[in-house]
């Protein structure tokens, strides 16, 4: 089992999609800036998310990605599963044969742990996360920062002063 930035990025990106849902597709460039994830890396992750029917894509200008299902029907476990192999803690993928074909001493423990983790992560939907206060606070900060970035990039003189003040 492994949970690295790969799985964390995937969930973060999906949550970003959920938070900004409603006004058409979201481009990966937007997610990249807001969440601080490399654009090319996001493309790789979204290829997998798309293959697993978690998102739909729209090409061309104004295009981007949308959730393929409603937020309440996408849970964290399946997002991680889509990019990682799985949230499986066993070394035998549940088969009970990791010690040269036979069950190892700790097989049942890892099965229990896997069940535990899977139950926890699959009980949390994107909708649940969107409703959380801590998530909303971070999202608000990110949106504010993104707005500032856009003002600066369009060459607004006031933005330089605002930055100096900080």
Partner DNA sequence: ATTTAACCAAGTAAAACAGTCAGCTAATCG
Partner DNA sequence: CGATTAGCTGACTGTTTTACTTGGTTAAAT
DSSP 15-55: HHHHHTTTSS-B-HHHHHHHHT--HHHHHHHHHHHHHTTSE
The entry of DNA, a second copy, ligand FES, none near residue 27 (CB within 5 to 8 angstroms by kind) is DNA
As a whole number of angstroms, the distance between CA 112 and CA 45 comes to 29
At 57, which helix (H) or strand (E)?
strand 55-58
Residues 55-94 that bind a second copy (CB under 8 A): 76, 89, 91
For the bound state, the minimum distance from the C-beta of residue 61 to a second copy, rounded and expressed in Å, comes to 27
**62 near DNA (CB under 7 A):** yes
**44 near DNA (CB under 7 A):** yes
Cross-strand pairs, 26: 65
The entry of ligand FES, DNA, a second copy, none near residue 146 (CB within 5 to 8 angstroms by kind) is none
Whether 44 contacts 4, CB under 8 Å: no
**166 near a second copy (CB under 8 A):** no
Closer by beta carbon to a second copy, 27 or else 142: 142
């Amino acid at each position: 089992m492994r949970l690295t930035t790969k799985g964390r990025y995937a969930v973060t990106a999906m949550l970003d999609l959920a938070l900004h849902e409603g006004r058409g597709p979201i481009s990966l460039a937007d997610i990249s800036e807001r969440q601080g994830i490399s654009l090319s890396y996001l493309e790789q992750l979204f290829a997998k998310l798309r293959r697993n029917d978690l998102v739909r894509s729209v090409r061309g200008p104004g295009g981007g990605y949308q959730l393929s299902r409603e937020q309440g029907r996408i849970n964290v476990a399946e997002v991680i599963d889509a990019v990682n192999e799985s949230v499986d803690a066993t070394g035998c993928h549940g088969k009970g044969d990791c010690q040269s074909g036979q069950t190892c001493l700790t097989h049942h423990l890892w099965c229990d742990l896997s069940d535990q983790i899977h139950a926890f992560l699959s009980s949390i939907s994107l909708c649940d996360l969107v409703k959380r206060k801590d998530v909303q606070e971070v999202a608000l900060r990110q949106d504010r920062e993104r707005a500032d970035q856009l003002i600066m990039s369009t060459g607004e003189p006031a933005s330089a002063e605002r930055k100096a003040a900080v």
